[in-house]
Chains A and B, each alone.
Chain A
């Protein structure tokens, strides 16, 4: 009976030590957990910005590509008209050269379609970013659960944006508002005598 009591006492002691260690560990990582749970939504928002930026860039390239395609169509029509005239006046050498120009245009049309299809990378990027944002959202919820379940307290004196991740996030945030447009740079340069 005494041996069993001794064993139970030892087990309880081991359990108490384990819990104490666990509490110390949780306490040690509390700032990181709180910091991450606060930083994650901002990081997710920047990822969504990346998606928007690739979309805007892609649409602009598409717009310009379509303009070139339309110009090619007009050029091809004009060249066909000129070729008819040359044929009528039996000017074979010029007609041949014109045909060569038309074949170059046709090749470029193929290149333009390739440019358009290559831009589908944006859709693939967007789909992956969307999934990553969803993952970050879930991780953030789990971290918040930890904060709530263990009653983790944030040290008010400690900034939540500390550490490498915090620095990078700060840079990303700043780039939204402080990134300089060329016009502003030119204005400043002009003040220093650059023309």
Chain B
């Protein structure tokens, strides 16, 4: 199933520059329904309040990290099926393994290109 351009996407990152970059790329890829959150806790709250179809999240964030948010999503009966793409500077193998074990849908290492994001989204929604 290809990605629906109208699907509701949540971008979670504490850096405003990264949120803008990810949103811009998603917009260029044809996605228009994009919301954002500053950390895992705010992201989780938004996910519980709304009907999101896809999450793009950073790893290192204050209050609640991306990996903790991912675990909380997978532990939540209503949210557990939402695909989560991690976009992070945490490029250690151990981080990737930790993310995979926590149930990440795919993983992008910063800095990245629009092509990489397109490819990962394509793989998640194929």
Contacts and interface: CB of A to CB of B under 8 A. Distances in A.
A119 B110 contact: no
Given A62-B24, A113-B24, A127-B89, A120 B18 contact: yes
B63 interface: no
Nearest to B111: A120
A119 B21 contact: yes
Interface residues of A, number: 22
Contacts of B16: 55, 59
Contact of B112 (A59, A120, A122, A127): A120
Contacts of A113: 24-25, 28, 114
Interface residues of B, number: 17
A101 B111 CA distance: 31
B66 to A, nearest CB: 13
Interface of B: 13, 15-18, 20-21, 24-25, 28, 60, 89, 110-114
The 9 A-B residue pairs with the shortest CB-CB distance in the complex, in nearest-first order: A120-B111, A113-B114, A123-B18, A123-B15, A122-B17, A58-B17, A116-B24, A113-B28, A62-B20
Given A59-B16, A123-B89, 15 more contacts: A55-B17, A59-B20, A62-B24, A113-B24, A114-B114, A116-B20, A116-B24, A116-B25, A116-B114, A117-B112, A117-B113, A122-B15, A123-B18, A126-B15, A126-B17
